[in-house]
Amino acid sequence: AKLQNVLSSLSQAARQLDALPSGRPAPAANYVKLNTNENPFPLPTIVWQSAIAALERQYLYPEDDNISLREAAANTYGVAIDHVIAGNGSSELLGLIYRAFLAPGDSVAMLSPGFSFNRKLAMLQGAQLLEIGCNEAQSLPIEQLLVGPAKDAKFILLANPNNPTGTFIPIADIERLLAQSDRLVVLDEAYVDFAPDNGLRLLGRYPNLLLLRTLSKSYAAAGIRVGFGFGHPQLIGRLRNIQNVFNMNVIGHAVGISILAHRAVYEENHMHVRHERQRVATALSQLGFSLTPSHANFLLARVPAGHDGRWWQAALERQRVLVAFLPDNGLENCIRVSIGTKAQMDAFLGAVSDISDSLK
Ligand code: PMP
């Protein structure tokens, strides 16, 4: 009864969260893990060494305000340091954006299907997430974002490339939206290093742009938790104001700085992902899947008729291969598979092929 009293005294937002699907436990180590868009390569030795060296400072609080890391990001991306915020992955920064810019009852617009974490963030804030259907579009439905229900949204969230579709919107479309609207646009570029272009050049020109980057995907550091936000100092300042003190740790600082200093080392990694993405897409379409063209480190594949995405996910899991099944927004017949090493992708394709044979 005591626990029931505690639980029922939680805010309505906190109680609503109970209705969302909960996270799955981490799988045993001997799975081919292709379900959360990690990059499978170990940190380069030189970056690794910076993490070890940082442990010597474990008894001290990390540097206040993430200054050295922000400075490194400012130099790398060509902006001034007061245009940069650093966080534990871009998810921390997304959370700050929701808290800073949305009051209960407000709304936020996102293209659908989109990154589902935004639902949780909106719910926590007591805000409404307007999911604007775009049918896996390769261009931006600007009209739909500026009129209709989305007209009053406090900000527009664009992930480019988008998750879970992998689609890429031309930067010129995003520029048109920024120019035509006074609304805040949050451009989440988590996967942009696998894409043909990026929105960095828009930063100086549009004060209504907040741009997010992460070291989780293209820099293979998902477990270290480093992300950046870029934008006008007054927007960035609001986010920094509400951020926890000492939000990052000494290893995140050291690894972040080291990765930025050795960015060139990762070019081969990005080439591998692009190449492997093409190879797997071709193989999957030969096995009867239909693919959305992807510019990220994953593929969204519509499964052959007869079984749905959930069935394929379970069949693959029995073969010790983990893929994502994201049934919302018309994706019941899809699976999303991350691009791993060649050996991992061979294991995935082998499992798909075995399952397909067993259906004949
Ligand atoms: N944005 C998008 C579109 C994502 O898919 C993810 C990771 N799934 C993130 C942001 C957050 O990544 P991180 O917190 O690791 O930077």
Could you give the ipTM of this predicted complex?
A: 0.99
Topology of the domain covering 2-42+266-358: Aspartate Aminotransferase, domain 1 (3.90.1150)
- Distance of CA 252 from the midpoint of ligand 1 (Å): 16
pTM of the model: 0.95
Q: What is the pLDDT along the chain (360 residues), one digit of tens a residue?
A: 888 888 888 777 777 777 776 656 566 678 999 999 999 888 899 999 999 999 999 999 999 999 999 999 999 999 999 999 999 999 999 999 999 999 999 999 999 899 999 999 999 999 999 998 876 666 788 888 888 888 899 999 999 999 999 999 999 999 999 999 999 999 999 999 999 999 999 999 999 999 999 999 999 999 999 999 999 999 999 999 999 999 999 999 999 999 999 999 999 999 999 999 999 999 999 999 999 999 999 999 999 999 999 999 999 999 999 999 999 878 999 999 999 999 999 999 999 999 999 998
The residue extents of the domains of the chain are: 2-42+266-358, 45-264
Enclosing H/E stretch for 156? strand 155-159
Whether 160 is in the pocket of ligand 1, judged by its Cβ within 6 Å, is: no
Enclosing H/E stretch for 128? strand 128-133
Topology of the domain covering 45-264: Aspartate Aminotransferase; domain 2 (3.40.640)
Given this chain, do its domains 2-42+266-358 and 45-264 carry the same CATH topology?
Answer: no
- Distance of CA 188 from the midpoint of ligand 1 (Å): 8
Whether 116 is in the pocket of ligand 1, judged by its Cβ within 6 Å, is: no
Are the beta carbons of 85 and 70 closer than 8 angstroms? yes
Q: How far apart are CA 120 and CA 124, in angstroms?
A: 6
Whether 296 is in the pocket of ligand 1, judged by its Cβ within 6 Å, is: no
Are the beta carbons of 68 and 59 closer than 8 angstroms? no
Tell me the backbone φ, ψ of residue 225, rounded to 5 degrees.
Answer: 70, 80
- Distance of CA 121 from the midpoint of ligand 1 (Å): 13
Candidate of 91, 111, 218 to mutate for ligand 1, largest count of ligand atoms within 8 Å of Cβ: 91
- Distance of CA 190 from the midpoint of ligand 1 (Å): 6
